[in-house]
Amino acid sequence: MARMKFLCDTERCIECNACVTACNNEHDVPWGINRRHVVTLKDGESGEKSVSVACMHCTDAPCAAVCPVDCFYTTPDGIVLHDKDLCIGCGYCFYACPFGAPQFPEENLFAARGKMDKCTFCAGGPGKDNSVEEYKKYGRNRIAEGKLPLCAEMCATKALLGGDGNVVSEIYIDRINKRGGRPQTWGWETAYNFKAEKGKKP
């Protein structure tokens, strides 16, 4: 069985936030919650990089390890999902996750905020696939329809890859080989003809 994974190629990400918008629209995510967000490092400087981040569906998920009610479970294809009927909104998963994937409404303190929400890899949740109840709680189940997550499909530069981990790895390795291992062939330096030794700024 395939292990589903995400990978964001920082050499291709242009911080357009199409992945964030696609996710929010596809799943009718509540206002104030973003299952996916784009993080930019060295913003406005030479060497700026952006990466699209969401739940990485870890093999040994720390969120599942700290959950006191065991609301997390892993599907046979490696997608980490949660059961909102079991979630008590304690926030432990929020602090355990290194990617900031678990999200809570911002109106109140933990336990009074409501149920946790996170990226589902467009795989819905427990219960009947593509039912009205599943959509209301978890959003659309594209995996059951034989499709990939919409965030990856909508990425204009194909920076965000999602699917079978082996296939994603092969695509990324092929890209690295074509680049020749030289990241300077992409990015600010190439786009703006920046020469560090001459002291020019982009």
For 117-172, the pLDDT digits (tens) are 999 999 999 988 889 999 998 999 999 999 999 999 999 999 999 999 999 999 99
Q: What is the pTM of this model?
A: 0.81
Left if phi > 0, otherwise alpha if psi is -120 to 50, otherwise beta: which for 16?
A: alpha
Instruction: Please check whether residue 47 is in contact with residue 62, taking contact to mean a CB–CB distance below 8 angstroms.
Output: no
What's the fold here for domain 4-191? Alpha-Beta Plaits (3.30.70)
pLDDT band at 108 (very low <50, low <70, confident <90, very high): low
Average pLDDT over residues 62-73: 96
Q: Residue 130's pLDDT is what?
A: 87
Instruction: Please check whether residue 117 is in contact with residue 126, taking contact to mean a CB–CB distance below 8 angstroms.
Output: no
Number of neighbours of residue 57 by Cβ within 10 angstroms: 25
pLDDT band at 29 (very low <50, low <70, confident <90, very high): confident
* Selection from 8, 30, 10, 11 nearest residue 19 by Cα: 8
In this structure, of 39-48, 56-65, 177-186, 191-200, the range with the lowest mean pLDDT score is 191-200
Instruction: Please check whether residue 168 is in contact with residue 78, taking contact to mean a CB–CB distance below 8 angstroms.
Output: no
- pLDDT at 182 > cutoff 80: no
Pairing relationship of beta strands 80-82 and 72-74 according to DSSP bridges? antiparallel
